Amino acid sequence: MIVNQKADIWTLACYVGHRLAILFAFDVAVVVAYVFAGWTWLALPNSPLSICGGVIVVLAGFRNASAYARWWEARTIWGSVVNNSRNFARQVVTMISAADRDEKAERESDEVRCKLVLLQIAWVHALRNHLRGTPPWDEIAELIPEREFQQLRSQSNVPLAIQQNISSLVAECRKSGWIEQMPWVSLDRTLSILMDCQGASERIKNTPMPQQYDTFIRFFINIYCLSLPFAMVDSLGLLTPIGSTLAGFIFLALDQIGRDLERPFDNLPHDISMTAISRTVEINLRQMIGRTETPQPLAPVNGILW
């Protein structure tokens, strides 16, 4: 996620760099043909083009609003991941305890509490990597017992498998009498919400924007931008590349913005800052179980918070 609020002209131009360069070169070719080769028939009336431009802006704006809705839904889902991860850890720490109160049972219940919280941290890291298509093993290796870690390597959906391990461990706590009925129901509800968050994230990841949005709107924008110099060359002459490129930049930027926002889990600079969110969850949950050694919060790199 881009967090740098400052943007210079060069950065803005590079945002649609190669397409803008192609448009500028095409504008120059049209001007050369019109002014120096005498191809005056290239000039077109600009009234129809103005009408088409208004229609394209409306279409691109509607598409970008839909893309932003996807991006914001993804951010809302991960906000829920943070909140419910904290809720889960809080419930585990305060609701699970040994019934017979002897030292050995207390020690065992404390180990189970720590294991559940660490598994929840592993789930958050695994979900992030699952959505981005990257391996999670380095980050979750120290959070999961070796035997369970090796079993996870054969799973196609690692966060789902971790969630299953968490549920099984909570069920064992219920059978051992370490958690009463109502707290157990509350814990199970929290786990269900976390599972819903995973399903909603996978839905966004696996359901692209309708192809018509991408194909037709980009086609219309490209045709419109290539038509601009023909409508401007009669009035602007040698200044046509400047006017056409500046006008085309607006449409090309609108198109690129929509394409960036519609993919919030692709590990690109415009994504949701899931790495920073995961780090925040890990810090919070480790502190809730009394761990003093925690990683540092993630800082932006070159204006980008991953």
What is the rounded distance in angstroms from the CA atom of residue 81 to the CA atom of residue 204?
15
Q: Which of 256, 282, 289, 290 is nearest to 270 (CA)?
A: 256
Q: Token pair of 38, please?
A: 């005498």
pLDDT at 111: 81
Half-sphere exposure for 157 (CA within 13 Å, toward CB): 9
CA 219 to chain centre: 26
Q: Which of 3, 30, 93 is nearest to 236 (CA)?
A: 30
pLDDT at 10: 64
Per-domain residue ranges for the chain? 9-42+211-261, 79-207+273-288
What is the rounded distance in angstroms from the CA atom of residue 46 to the CA atom of residue 52?
10
Residues β-bridged to residue 304: 2, 301
pLDDT at 46: 64
Q: What global pTM score does this model have?
A: 0.82
What is the rounded distance in angstroms from the CA atom of residue 85 to the CA atom of residue 83?
6
What is the rounded distance in angstroms from the CA atom of residue 143 to the CA atom of residue 126?
11
pLDDT tens string for the chain (306 positions)? 665 656 556 666 666 777 888 888 888 888 888 777 777 777 776 667 777 777 888 888 888 888 889 899 999 999 999 999 999 999 888 887 766 666 666 777 778 888 899 999 999 999 999 999 888 888 888 888 888 888 888 888 999 999 999 988 888 878 877 777 887 888 889 999 999 999 999 999 988 887 777 788 888 888 888 888 888 877 777 888 888 888 888 888 888 888 888 888 888 877 888 889 999 999 999 888 887 787 787 677 766 676
Q: Are 149 and 140 in contact (CB under 8 A)?
A: yes
Inter-CA distances, 60 with 124, 269, 291, Å: 35, 22, 50
Half-sphere exposure for 240 (CA within 13 Å, toward CB): 28
Helix/strand/coil (H/E/C) assignment for every residue in the chain: CECCCCCCHHHHHHHCHHHHHHHHHHHHHHHHHHHHCCCHHHCCCCHHHHHHHHHHHHHHHHHHHHHHHHHHHHHHHHHHHHHHHHHHHHHHHHHCCCCCCCHHHHHHHHHHHHHHHHHHHHHHHHHHHHHHCCCCHHHHHHHCCHHHHHHHCCCCCHHHHHHHHHHHHHHHHHHCCCCCHHHHHHHHHHHHHHHHHHHHHHHHHHCCCCHHHHHHHHHHHHHHHHHHHHHHHHHHHHHHHHHHHHHHHHHHHHHHHHHHHCCCCCCCCCCCCHHHHHHHHHHHHHHHCCCCCCCCCCCCECCECC
What is the rounded distance in angstroms from the CA atom of residue 286 to the CA atom of residue 288?
5
Q: Token pair of 48, please?
A: 């129809």
